Amino acid sequence: MRHPTEEKRAAFRALHEQGCFVLPNPWDAGSAVRLHKHGFQALASTSAGAAWALGRDDGQLAREEVLAHLRMLVAATPLPVNADFEAGFAVAPSDVAANAVAAANTGIAGLSIEDRTGATLYDASLARDRIQATAEALRRDAPDVLLVARCEAFLMGEQNLAPVIARLHAYAEAGAHCLYAPGIVDFEAATKLLVTDGRLPPASQA
């Protein structure tokens, strides 16, 4: 018999393999339970919601506070939880990787890592190295956890698709299982970011 954490992670992977699904954001145990009762199949933490629930701004929670928050969400329902792990609470790739493993140890099924620091994006090569180190660490210590690489460029005011697609390509090659570029609002542009057969469109299509 598989451990409950293994079952959650297997279920989370199966959802991705089946296609699109809705991933709502609980901010505490009560909202997680309510979302479970409404029939959702998985949950995703929200850094903003977690901070606001404590009267703070997004990004003001320390790593240990976020880990405690993740443990609370994981324990609240039998649903798999994807962690909004912000920028990994470190700069150096090895430190981000170590923090991601600590997050995996809370029982989450997946986690996302952003490529921004404050109001700017990390250098593209450093951002890729951070994802690669994290992917390698998870393969070693928590191989069933999904890694989501987030490109924050649109949220930082980027208007062009080409640099975003280039970053997403790099993150995929670095070992990310899923890719996310929040902030895109143009439908035509969004269609160019669609993944077909597990492959991103070539940057030349941007």
- CATH number of the domain that 98 lies in? 3.20.20.60
Quote the pLDDT of residue 204.
45
Rounded Cα–Cα distance for residues 11 and 160 (Å): 36
Quote the pLDDT of residue 189.
74
- For the segment 157-185, what is each residue's pLDDT rounded down to a tens digit? 888 888 999 999 999 999 999 999 998 87
Q: Is the torsion defined by CA of 97, 184, 202, 195 positive or negative?
A: positive
Residue of 177, 178, 169, 173 whose CA lies nearest to 201: 169
- Looking at the DSSP bridge assignments, the partners of residue 178 are 148
Domain that holds residue 158: 4-205
The enclosing H or E element of 3 equals none
Quote the pLDDT of residue 203.
47
Instruction: Give me the count of residues in the chain.
Output: 206
Rg (CA), the chain: 16
| Helix 161-173 with 124-141: angle, nearest 10 deg | 30
Q: How many domains, in total, are found in the chain?
A: 1
Q: Which residues contact 118 (CB under 8 A, 6 or more apart)?
A: none
pTM: 0.91
Query: Is the Cβ–Cβ distance between 42 and 23 less than 8 Å?
Result: yes
**19 Ramachandran zone, left/alpha/beta (phi>0; psi -120 to 50):** left
Regions of the chain with pLDDT less than 50: 196-198, 203-206
Rounded Cα–Cα distance for residues 205 and 165 (Å): 9
Q: Which residues contact 206 (CB under 8 A, 6 or more apart)?
A: 160, 161, 162, 164, 165, 192
